[in-house]
Amino acid sequence: MNSSLVNVVIYADHNNFTDGRSGYGIQKITVHHCAGVMSAESIGYLWQNPSRECSSHYGIGNDGRIGQYVDEYDTAWTDSNWVSNCTSVTIETSNCACGGDWPVSDEALNSLINLCADISIRNGLGYLVPGANLTWHSMYAATTCPGDYLRARMQYIADRANEIIGGGGGHKIAEDGLWGVDTTRKAQEVFGTPVDGVVSKQMSWVGNQNPGLLDSTFEWLDYMAGGSLLIAAIQRKVGVSDDGYIGPDTISAMQRWLGTPVDGVASNPSVMVQAFQHWLNQQ
Ligand SMILES: [Zn+2]
């Protein structure tokens, strides 16, 4: 399975990648920079050198054109980390100037966003979260790659890609009973609160008692800092005080509203969260 966004295919020398994924599945994207101003072709020519011992699945030239060098079902040697290579689709991105914060052209950045969204959609990675399923080279090795310019824009890349992944509403989320980033984003769309994939400023003791509310999307704090606009909107919907903090009362009210057993706890997985996801998908 490869991207239809590709402009040019230049297969890497077989000395520079491994067939298959060694039993692993694709779990994430890893972003790199070229440390140079390059084209989709010139990146590919690097990986054709049989003594290079390096490759990437994709490369983006300074003009935004996209090259493919290794098939996604094979393992490119890009991340300086074997397990990371086996679980990642990797992208080399041309710089538009050398040195400094290693800037990238707007054309290359836009192609990177489109390619990240496409990889996520075809591989079922869901919404992209920097540091989780949208990663970068310096997470895995002592390197400055992908440079400060791209590193500072990971949330922007994720947000723009997630707009494509979400398709501007009407998309379905998994009904798996686990309240993660997808559920938060969908709920934020439905309830009309800012869509950032985060349930802000919640109390950590609630997180400890409710394993179905995932750490990837709930911001757990040890002090009260104002709560979440989304939780307040849900509380108004289910008829409890809209203080913005999820807890046993709000979970019980959601369980009553959704017609699931009322115990005030979101388990892992949770029948209530599953019903909530189902309801969100009907909106
Ligand atoms: Zn790199």
For every residue of the chain, DSSP letters joined together read ---TT-SEE-PPPGGGEESS-TT----EEEEEE-SS---HHHHHHHHTSTT-----SEEE-TTS-EEE-S-TTSEES-SSSHHHHHHEEEEEE--SSSSTT----HHHHHHHHHHHHHHHHHHT--S--BTTTEEEGGGTSS--TTHHHHHTTHHHHHHHHHHHHHTTS------SS-B-HHHHHHHHHHHTS--SS-EEEEEHHHHHH-TTB-TTTEEEESS-----HHHHHHHHHHTS---S---HHHHHHHHHHHTS---S---SS-HHHHHHHHHHHH-
Q: How far is the CA of 75 from the centre of ligand 1 (A)?
A: 15
Asked whether residue 189 falls in the same domain as residue 277, the answer is: yes
Q: How far is the CA of 264 from the centre of ligand 1 (A)?
A: 47
**Does 173 reside within a domain?**
no
Q: How far is the CA of 279 from the centre of ligand 1 (A)?
A: 42
Asked whether residue 158 falls in the same domain as residue 185, the answer is: no
Q: How far is the CA of 155 from the centre of ligand 1 (A)?
A: 18
223, 229 in Cβ contact below 8 A? no
The last residue of a domain, from among 105, 137, 168: 168
150, 136 in Cβ contact below 8 A? yes
**Does 121 reside within a domain?**
yes
**Does 175 reside within a domain?**
no
Q: How far is the CA of 120 from the centre of ligand 1 (A)?
A: 20
**Does 202 reside within a domain?**
yes
Q: How far is the CA of 127 from the centre of ligand 1 (A)?
A: 23
The last residue of a domain, from among 145, 168, 191: 168
Q: How far is the CA of 145 from the centre of ligand 1 (A)?
A: 5
**Does 2 reside within a domain?**
no
Q: Tens of pLDDT along 10-43?
A: 999 999 999 999 999 999 999 999 999 999 999 9
Asked whether residue 160 falls in the same domain as residue 200, the answer is: no
Asked whether residue 241 falls in the same domain as residue 151, the answer is: no
Residue 111: the pLDDT is 96
Where residue 281 falls among pLDDT bands split at 50, 70, 90? confident
The CATH number for 13's domain is 3.40.80.10
Q: How far is the CA of 138 from the centre of ligand 1 (A)?
A: 7
Asked whether residue 130 falls in the same domain as residue 32, the answer is: yes
Asked whether residue 195 falls in the same domain as residue 72, the answer is: no
pLDDT at 169 over 70: no
Asked whether residue 190 falls in the same domain as residue 161, the answer is: no
The last residue of a domain, from among 102, 134, 168: 168
Asked whether residue 194 falls in the same domain as residue 139, the answer is: no
Q: Please state, in angstroms and rounded to a whole number, the distance separating the CA atoms of residues 95 and 79.
A: 18
Residue 166: the pLDDT is 77
Asked whether residue 262 falls in the same domain as residue 159, the answer is: no
Q: How far is the CA of 55 from the centre of ligand 1 (A)?
A: 10
Residue 189: the pLDDT is 87
Q: How far is the CA of 162 from the centre of ligand 1 (A)?
A: 23
Q: How far is the CA of 91 from the centre of ligand 1 (A)?
A: 9
Where residue 237 falls among pLDDT bands split at 50, 70, 90? very high
**Does 250 reside within a domain?**
yes
**Does 267 reside within a domain?**
yes
Asked whether residue 77 falls in the same domain as residue 146, the answer is: yes
Lookup result for tokens 């041309």: 94
pLDDT over 70, % of the chain: 98
Where residue 195 falls among pLDDT bands split at 50, 70, 90? confident
Structural domain for 241, as ranges: 181-282
Higher pLDDT among residues 163 and 254, named by residue: 254
Residue 163: the pLDDT is 86
Q: Please state, in angstroms and rounded to a whole number, the distance separating the CA atoms of residues 34 and 60.
A: 9
Of 102-116, 141-155, 161-175, 186-200, where does mean pLDDT reach its minimum?
161-175
Lookup result for tokens 């559920």: 183
Q: How far is the CA of 61 from the centre of ligand 1 (A)?
A: 15
C-alpha closest to that of 70 among 113, 125, 16, 139 = 16
Lookup result for tokens 């989780």: 132
Q: How far is the CA of 30 from the centre of ligand 1 (A)?
A: 9
Structurally, how many domains does the chain consist of?
2
pLDDT at 282 over 90: no
Q: How far is the CA of 167 from the centre of ligand 1 (A)?
A: 30
Contacts of 55 (CB under 8 A, 6+ apart): 12, 16, 17, 47, 69, 70, 76, 77, 78
pLDDT at 168 over 60: no
**Does 3 reside within a domain?**
no
